[in-house]
Amino acid sequence: FESSTDGELSDSEHEDETPSKKVKLETETIEEQCETLDIVETHDDICDKQSTVEQSKREANIEPRKTNGVLFKPKVEKKPALYVDVIRDPQIQTARLKLPILAEEQQIMEVINSNSIIIVSGETGSGKTTQIPQFLYEGGYALKKQIAVTEPRRIAAISMSQRVAEEMNLSGREVSFLVRFQGNVTDDTKIKFMTDGVLLKEVQSDFLLSNYSVVILDEAHERSLYTDILVGLLSRIVKLREKKNDPLKLIVMSATLRLEDFTTNRRLFKVPPPVIKVDTRQFPVTIHFNRRTEEDYLKEAFRKTVKIHSTLPDGVYCCFDRVALKKTVEVENDALKDLGDNRKKGKRSKKVVLPEINLNDYSLPGDAEHNSDYEGSDSELEDPIGTESVVHGQPLWVLPLYSLLSVQKQNRIFQQVPSGCRLCVVSTNVAETSLTIPGIKYVVDSGKTKTKLYDKVTGVSSYAICWTSKASADQRAGRAGRMGPGHCYRLYSSAVFNDTFVDFGEPEIRRAPADDLYLRMRNMNIEKIINFPFPTAPDLLQLKTAETRLKILGVLDQNGKVTGLGRAVSKFPVLPRFGKMLALSHQHEILPYTICLVAALSIPEVLMEVSISAKTDSSDKWAATRLRWAGSGNSYLLGDNMVLLKAVGAAEFAHSEGKLEQFCAENGIRSKAVSEIRKLRLQLSNEISVNVADTDVVVDPKMAPPNDLQAKLLRQILLAGLGDQVAKKMSVDEVPAGENKAKFKYAYHANNMEDLVFLHRGSVLKRSLPEFVIYQELYETNKIYMRGVTAIEPEWLPIYVPTLCNLGAPLADPPPCFTGGKVMCTIVGTFGSQAWPLPPIKMEYP
């Protein structure tokens, strides 16, 4: 990429300039900054409010710190910054003062005042997220404009805004949040926490981000797609704002990050920004590697936890991947049975408390993918509710923690543990950096993480349980040293760690499909996406595939320019293919259905595939329910997505009668997904009402199932959005000689790949086996399966996916007197690269 020409937004580079440790400072003085921030005249007012104690503390502390990670020495000695007083609750203030970052406020503010781009790095829990926005507020940065803080996760944006408001004794009116579905921003908002996706959307409508004086990109080490894009954009926006004499500060914050990604990336920052290293009171954590790496790490994790629980004092914390979370219950039950037997043998023991464990908690996203043959394995799992089992020591209070869990349940980790109990949190990597669980002393680390892998060419996604990275493993271990010296038990050997673990995980930009990224960038008039200053460039092949797909969808024209459809599509906060479906539905008065469908397709795992209960065997029951919903035989609904639509509608009826939870539990629907879909429907409806002229979509969550005609239209609309993902039934004649025909009963050819794809046993189409289908997604376990399958008619293809059809000449010559009037002819053609014959189409003479 280095040799290619610059994109529109990138600056010229000086390749031969070697990065120097001495950081060049900008010449701006604080006075100049005040002028440009337009706050000079208010100086006196502010001084009145100043706390003199704080003031003198600042003055006494003015000498810049020389060492300890601040790679910076201010050139100009400055007067204290403009100061806005915050009257804090004394108790909160005492707690704050325990954070080492507080002692460094002066130095940190000096670096921020005299640089436009700053990197802040420090361990999780050191106070970056909660304290730095407060420093900025006190330093006068919120006097005229807002302070923006982005988080990759919604849960962090909400809970951090609440925490900061509480610490500052302010309300949600002043310290607010804005995430995809909700927010409490007002005209008085000073500090605004938001998801990175929300800020990216704001850049699209106001490229200079003129409402903000500072943008903090938090958790940059996670390298989420949107944060990565924002880093690149902001590196340029800061320059533009400088030129306009309206400076904007960019603060990139991260835990233990690969600083070099930001500091040595000179496409991104020509001059490496100063790095502020925040100290933390981190106690030593003793790492215990297992001598052997057990194959069954779940069992091993449970064994280890029980051992800690029965022999060592204080809290426990386990960091597993999310499948492990569910399986833990299985292991637990086995192991607990053993312990129960011990009790019979007269051994002393006490209860394990498994509080409010809800089956839904354990039927986690992506589970189905792990059970290639999902009828068997999971139904053997025991129902943990009411398990009364026995472990030596105090009762153990076991709480699950993962991001799809409701906020309410997530908050239980901050609440008081029932007296006499010990807390054990079984968590996904949410607890690695985003949330700090109080009081952890022991970490049990499986070393595993569940990753969604994505094939750049075929678009096949699969979940795999992989070893995590060295950086993540160290993060997990670090959680044990917050309160005092701790211990981390790694369920793998040091040899595995040293030889198998990669240093860092791969950033999302290299893992996710690039469609959305591509269209967003094009819409911001960024022509050469490959030259954009990403912290890590996306894969070239990935971009190429995205471009092809967007052209098939008609979102880009053949020259790669955004079409009218493309502009309409990008107004919707969903994937381009779904945006297209919305744009088309508008013409057919089925918009409310499509909105519901698109919302449902945008939320992961609405319908649960797997039950862990052997007693009720719910997974079969749910499969049966779905078949019933789909109708019998060649039903009118014809597809999994239609069933999804029906399920959401039905759940809303149940909701209106106050029976949502019960209905969802009985029918295998994730109730949290239903409320997220409701919010997304509302949001989409509002956006359509605003963006599309003459449309006022009213949402009634309760929606009757579509009738025959509507279902047919919806299938056509789905085809318009998923036209690149067509599959054709494999015929019996194609089964290779000597092979078992039954093995290919559910086999299909996908138009864009060589391998066969299969209809999953959970699909409602497995009875009718239509000739042509479209699918929402492919995923791979032992075979490649289609997910979200809908039946289509081949004669629809030339209408909805013309870009992939190859139509031949009319079958007969035009009649001799042909004058271009309405004379019909028959045309035969093929579809896709594999040239599947299409049925003859009646058309007017071209």
Q: Are 674 and 651 in contact (CB under 8 A)?
A: yes
Least distance CB 523 / ligand CDP (angstroms): 32
Residue 613 interface partner, choices Mg ion, ligand CDP, none, CB cut-off 5-8 Å depending on type: none
Cα–Cα distance, 479 to 443 (Å, whole number): 7
φ and ψ at 824, to 5 degrees?
-85, 150
Residue 159 interface partner, choices ligand CDP, Mg ion, none, CB cut-off 5-8 Å depending on type: ligand CDP
DSSP SS3 for 310? helix
- Beta carbon nearer to ligand CDP, 395 or 478: 478
Least distance CB 127 / ligand CDP (angstroms): 4
Which residues is 837 bridged to in the sheet? Answer: 830
Considering CB under 5 A, how many residues would be counted as binding Mg ion? 1
Cα–Cα distance, 568 to 288 (Å, whole number): 56
- Beta carbon nearer to Mg ion, 10 or 195: 195
Cα–Cα distance, 229 to 200 (Å, whole number): 8
Binders in 112-131 for Mg ion, by CB under 5 A: 129
Q: Are 232 and 100 in contact (CB under 8 A)?
A: no
- Beta carbon nearer to Mg ion, 153 or 304: 153
Least distance CB 441 / ligand CDP (angstroms): 14
Residue 303 interface partner, choices ligand CDP, Mg ion, none, CB cut-off 5-8 Å depending on type: none
Cα–Cα distance, 510 to 529 (Å, whole number): 14
- Beta carbon nearer to ligand CDP, 242 or 279: 279
Least distance CB 180 / Mg ion (angstroms): 20
Least distance CB 449 / ligand CDP (angstroms): 20
Least distance CB 430 / ligand CDP (angstroms): 13
- Beta carbon nearer to ligand CDP, 126 or 710: 126
DSSP SS3 for 444? strand
Least distance CB 435 / ligand CDP (angstroms): 8
Cα–Cα distance, 843 to 147 (Å, whole number): 60
Residue 436 interface partner, choices ligand CDP, Mg ion, none, CB cut-off 5-8 Å depending on type: ligand CDP
Q: How many residues does this entry show for the chain? A: 846
Residue 125 interface partner, choices ligand CDP, Mg ion, none, CB cut-off 5-8 Å depending on type: ligand CDP
Q: Where are the alpha helices (DSSP H) in 345-423?
A: 359-362, 367-370, 407-410
CA–centroid distance for 633 within its chain: 38
Least distance CB 222 / ligand CDP (angstroms): 12
- Beta carbon nearer to ligand CDP, 104 or 515: 104
- Beta carbon nearer to ligand CDP, 125 or 152: 125
- Beta carbon nearer to Mg ion, 151 or 332: 151
Cα–Cα distance, 561 to 550 (Å, whole number): 10
Q: Which residues contact 149 (CB under 8 A, 6 or more apart)?
A: 129, 133, 157, 160, 191, 192, 193, 194, 216, 218
Least distance CB 318 / Mg ion (angstroms): 22
- Beta carbon nearer to ligand CDP, 116 or 159: 159
Cα–Cα distance, 178 to 774 (Å, whole number): 36
Residue 116 interface partner, choices ligand CDP, Mg ion, none, CB cut-off 5-8 Å depending on type: none
Least distance CB 155 / Mg ion (angstroms): 12
Residue 50 interface partner, choices ligand CDP, Mg ion, none, CB cut-off 5-8 Å depending on type: none
- Beta carbon nearer to ligand CDP, 85 or 279: 279
Least distance CB 131 / ligand CDP (angstroms): 6
- Beta carbon nearer to Mg ion, 129 or 594: 129
Which residues is 389 bridged to in the sheet? Answer: 352
Q: Do β-strands 841-844 and 824-831 pair in parallel, antiparallel, or remain unpaired?
A: antiparallel
Q: Are 432 and 319 in contact (CB under 8 A)?
A: yes
- Beta carbon nearer to Mg ion, 129 or 671: 129
Is position 475 an interface residue for Mg ion (rule: CB under 5 A)?
no
Q: Which residues bind ligand CDP (CB under 6 A)?
A: 122, 124-131, 159, 163, 436, 438
- Beta carbon nearer to ligand CDP, 251 or 623: 251
Q: Are 641 and 792 in contact (CB under 8 A)?
A: no
The residue at minimum Cβ distance from Mg ion is 129
- Cα–Cα–Cα angle for 657, 658, 664, nearest 5°? 100
Cα–Cα distance, 325 to 612 (Å, whole number): 12
Residue 461 interface partner, choices Mg ion, ligand CDP, none, CB cut-off 5-8 Å depending on type: none
- Beta carbon nearer to ligand CDP, 116 or 129: 129
**Identity at 773, one-letter amino acid code:** V
**Identity at 698, one-letter amino acid code:** V
Residue 272 interface partner, choices ligand CDP, Mg ion, none, CB cut-off 5-8 Å depending on type: none
End-to-end CA distance of the chain: 45
- Least Cα distance to 429 among 474, 487, 492 occurs for 474
- Beta carbon nearer to ligand CDP, 407 or 690: 407
Q: Do β-strands 422-427 and 249-254 pair in parallel, antiparallel, or remain unpaired?
A: unpaired
DSSP SS3 for 795? helix
- What sign does the dihedral 77-83-87-92 (CA atoms) show? negative
Least distance CB 434 / Mg ion (angstroms): 7
Q: Are 47 and 82 in contact (CB under 8 A)?
A: no
381's tokens = 């799992």
Count of other CB atoms within 10 angstroms of residue 322: 27
Least distance CB 121 / ligand CDP (angstroms): 10
Least distance CB 160 / ligand CDP (angstroms): 7
Q: Where are the alpha helices (DSSP H) in 534-670?
A: 540-552, 564-570, 576-585, 591-602, 618-630, 640-656, 660-667
- Least Cα distance to 496 among 464, 465, 467, 466 occurs for 467
Break the chain down into helix, strand, coil percent, rounded to 5. Answer: 40, 15, 40
DSSP SS3 for 119? strand
Strand residues in 152-269 grouped as ranges (E): 175-178, 191-195, 212-217, 249-254
Residue 762 interface partner, choices ligand CDP, Mg ion, none, CB cut-off 5-8 Å depending on type: none
- Beta carbon nearer to Mg ion, 218 or 445: 218
Q: Which residues contact 338 (CB under 8 A, 6 or more apart)?
A: none
In the complex, which residues of this chain contact Mg ion (CB under 5 A)?
A: 129
